[in-house]
């Protein structure tokens, strides 16, 4: 298992977590549980992409890992339903953003840094 891929994908997950937390809160302080959930979810996507040995197109790989890792968080997001967003809207938004972040993390890992699957 190439350590370069694990390190790059995990670092990209950390960066994605920071960006996602900032975008989700518009720079305003918010509940630490929400921030921790968002951050760890993105870091986990990066780590799983790094350790995955699936050989497939990089975009499909990132989307698949992003979706699988985001499913539990999507169900958790349903509890945060508000007047602005319904339960299923939050579920879908969390799932879709996980897929997008998975693709972006895989893009940087596989294409820009050329850390391919062994």
pLDDT of 83 over the 80 cut: no
Residue 24 lies in a domain: yes
Residue 118 lies in a domain: no
Say what the pTM is. Answer: 0.92
Residue 50 lies in a domain: yes
Each residue of 4-41: pLDDT tens digit?
999 999 999 999 999 998 888 776 777 777 788 889 99
Low-confidence winner among 26-35, 68-77, 85-94, 97-106 (lowest mean pLDDT): 26-35
Range of 46's domain? 3-112
Residue 66, pLDDT score: 98
CB atoms within 10 A of CB 28: 7
Each residue of 45-81: pLDDT tens digit?
999 999 999 999 999 999 999 999 999 999 988 887 7
Cα–Cα distances in angstroms (integers) from residue 22 to residues 17, 39, 57, 58, 59, in the given order: 9, 10, 30, 26, 25
Residue 42 lies in a domain: yes
Residue 104 lies in a domain: yes
């Amino acid at each position: 298992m190439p350590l370069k891929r694990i390190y790059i994908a995990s670092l990209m997950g950390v960066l994605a977590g920071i960006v996602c937390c900032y975008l989700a809160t518009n720079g305003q302080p918010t509940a630490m549980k929400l921030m921790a959930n968002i951050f760890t979810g993105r870091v986990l996507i990066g780590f799983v992409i790094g350790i995955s040995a699936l050989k497939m197109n990089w975009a499909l790989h990132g989307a698949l890992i992003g979706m699988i890792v985001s499913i539990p968080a999507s169900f958790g997001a349903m509890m945060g339903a508000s007047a602005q967003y319904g339960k299923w809207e939050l579920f879908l938004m969390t799932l879709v953003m996980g897929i997008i972040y998975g693709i972006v993390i895989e893009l940087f890992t596989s294409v820009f840094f050329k850390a391919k699957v062994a």
